[in-house]
């Protein structure tokens, strides 16, 4: 019986960002239902945000493990997270994270997991795991499209990406070059992200679906020279009833008064803050569209700005009951589930993309930076998104915002998008069990090899190739040390 079999112990180690911790947690939930024990490791400030979610249903199979990250000048413990972190402190956070390597080693020695699943910021994690004879696999929480696009640029600079539907506009291209070359993204002179892929043990897990990104998953496998294993959308499952009793119940009550598919949900993620100009153009665009909207507005910590001050003069009064503005955090999944939502104005962060597709909400794409422009082009290519085009200098234009919102919601342009999303979601659901069976088998095979392999190092670096050796050879090498 499976219940009588020894469980496989997996240590998960995401980067200190909610957009990374969330998919790791969803993967942990999925694996915990399939005879895995999970140790999910992060800083105290990040763990405090997910403790309740774990305690409700998964306390028997998911253990939260705190890692101590050094306190550096300007970076107290409450800043050991990217959430609300001032941008100038991001390099400091990465430096502090790098200096927690010894603490990771102590944790691996204590918990003795069968496998480490690590993120793409810490190339030192698989090296440490190898010293404890623990196989380590990278988990990529961004799209295969963006990952292959970046890796292609990195390996073959100046050459065209082989898929013409994926491109960057002139005002976006410099951002990608900066992302690849930025000193923030380097560790000991090497690109963090690509080193993490390189050091993964034979395969790379990715938050994706073959139904959405099949050809880009294949291309990434060729570029990385590893098997790419998609683990699914990893979207949090919940119901609107879970928030009716808390401080956000007024949101559902407001939505209940709106007609079917009549409202757009507007959110740009937890780590991007609109400039004053972008805020004004978005506000005027929503007003011009005449469509109902829920807009989640965020400001950097320490910035003493109110919603009233940030919006155009008289905007709140003019839109009245047609608009609901929420400052800070909103229950995104529950909002997207509501039948009144007919469009999702999104920055195209990958988790938001997956949520939009799962709940069959047409995505009105307004990419801002990082992977978002590439994700937006993918959505256009597969027919589940409509992009708000910027002007030649890369600025948002209110008339274009209004035009696309009206096209999707008022003129029923979103009907085709919704149909396409339903097709993709249905295909993904039909293969969900088969896909996860494959993921589990890949992980278990890697763990089984652990007892009879030596994973060599050269100058302290993990060599991904597995070298099979007899038990006597292993014993001989151990004694020689």
For residues 314 and 306, the answer to whether their CB atoms sit within 8 Å is no
For residues 196 and 121, the answer to whether their CB atoms sit within 8 Å is yes
Long-range contacts of 465-474 (CB under 8 A, 24+ apart): 466/201, 466/202
Structure tokens, 122: 């810490």
Name the burial class of residue 382, with classes exposed (0-12), middle (13-18) and buried (19+) by CB atoms within 10 angstroms of its CB.
Answer: middle
Residue 4's SS3 state is helix
Among residues 140, 116, 356, 294, the alpha carbon closest in space to that of 228 is found at 140
Verify whether residue 119 is a known catalytic residue. Answer: yes
Specify which residues 66 forms β-bridges with.
Answer: 42
Catalytic pick among 119, 152, 338, 347: 119
Q: How many Cβ atoms from other residues are within 10 Å of residue 159's Cβ?
A: 9
**What DSSP designation does 202 have?**
S
Catalytic pick among 18, 20, 152, 219: 20
Cβ-based neighbours of 473, under 8 Å, separated by 6 or more = none
Q: How far is CA 149 from the centre of its chain?
A: 17
Among residues 68, 101, 96, the alpha carbon closest in space to that of 82 is found at 96
Specify which residues 140 forms β-bridges with.
Answer: 206
Distances (CA, A) of 2 to 7, 16, 33, 264, 451: 9, 34, 11, 46, 21
For residues 342 and 414, the answer to whether their CB atoms sit within 8 Å is yes
Cα–Cα distance, 372 to 465 (Å, whole number): 33
Residues catalogued as catalytic? 20, 119
């Amino acid at each position: 019986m499976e219940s009588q079999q020894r469980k496989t112990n997996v240590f998960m180690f995401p980067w200190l960002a909610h957009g990374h911790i969330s998919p790791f947690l969803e993967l942990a939930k999925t694996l915990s239902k399939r005879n895995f024990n999970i140790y999910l490791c992060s800083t105290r400030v990040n763990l405090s945000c997910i403790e309740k979610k774990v305690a409700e249903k998964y306390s028997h199979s998911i253990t939260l493990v705190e890692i101590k990250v050094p306190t550096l000048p300007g970076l107290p413990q409450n800043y050991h997270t990217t959430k609300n972190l001032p941008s100038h402190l991001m390099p400091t956070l990465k430096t502090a994270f790098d200096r927690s390597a010894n603490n990771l080693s102590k944790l691996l020695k204590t918990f003795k997991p069968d496998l480490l699943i690590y993120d793409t910021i810490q190339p030192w994690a698989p090296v440490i795991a190898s010293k404890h004879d623990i196989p380590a696999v990278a988990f990529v929480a961004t799209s295969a499209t963006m990952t292959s696009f970046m890796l292609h640029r990195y390996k073959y600079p100046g050459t065209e990406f082989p898929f013409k539907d994926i491109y960057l506009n002139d005002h976006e291209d410099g951002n990608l070059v900066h992302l690849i070359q930025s000193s923030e993204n380097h560790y000991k002179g090497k690109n963090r992200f690509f080193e993490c892929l390189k050091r993964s043990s034979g395969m790379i897990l990715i938050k994706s679906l073959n139904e959405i990104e099949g050809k880009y998953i294949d291309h990434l496998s060729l570029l990385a020279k590893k098997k790419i294993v998609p683990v699914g959308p990893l979207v949090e499952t919940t119901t609107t009833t879970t928030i009716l009793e808390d401080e956000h119940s007024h949101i559902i009550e407001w939505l209940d008064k709106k007609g079917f598919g009549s409202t757009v949900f507007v959110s740009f993620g937890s780590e991007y803050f609109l400039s004053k100009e972008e805020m004004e153009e978005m506000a005027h665009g929503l007003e011009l569209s005449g469509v109902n909207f829920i807009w989640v507005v965020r400001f950097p910590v320490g910035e003493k700005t109110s919603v009233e001050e940030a919006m155009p003069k008289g905007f709140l009064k003019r839109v009245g009951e047609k608009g609901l503005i929420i400052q800070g955090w909103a229950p995104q999944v529950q909002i997207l589930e509501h039948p009144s939502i007919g469009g999702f104005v999104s920055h195209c962060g990958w988790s938001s993309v997956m949520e939009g597709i799962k709940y069959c909400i047409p995505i009105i794409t307004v990419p801002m930076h990082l992977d978002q422009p590439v994700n937006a082009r993918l959505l256009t290519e597969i027919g589940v998104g409509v992009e708000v085009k910027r002007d030649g200098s890369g600025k948002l234009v209110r008339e274009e915002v209004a035009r696309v919102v009206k096209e999707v919601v008022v003129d029923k342009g979103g009907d085709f998008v919704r149909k396409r999303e339903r097709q993709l979601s249905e295909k993904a659901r039909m293969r969900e069990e088969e896909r996860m069976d494959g993921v589990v088998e890949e992980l278990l095979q890697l763990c089984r090899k652990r007892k009879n392999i030596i994973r060599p190092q050269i100058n302290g670096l993990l060599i991904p190739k597995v070298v099979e050796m007899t038990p006597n050879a292993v014993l001989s090498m151990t004694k020689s040390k």
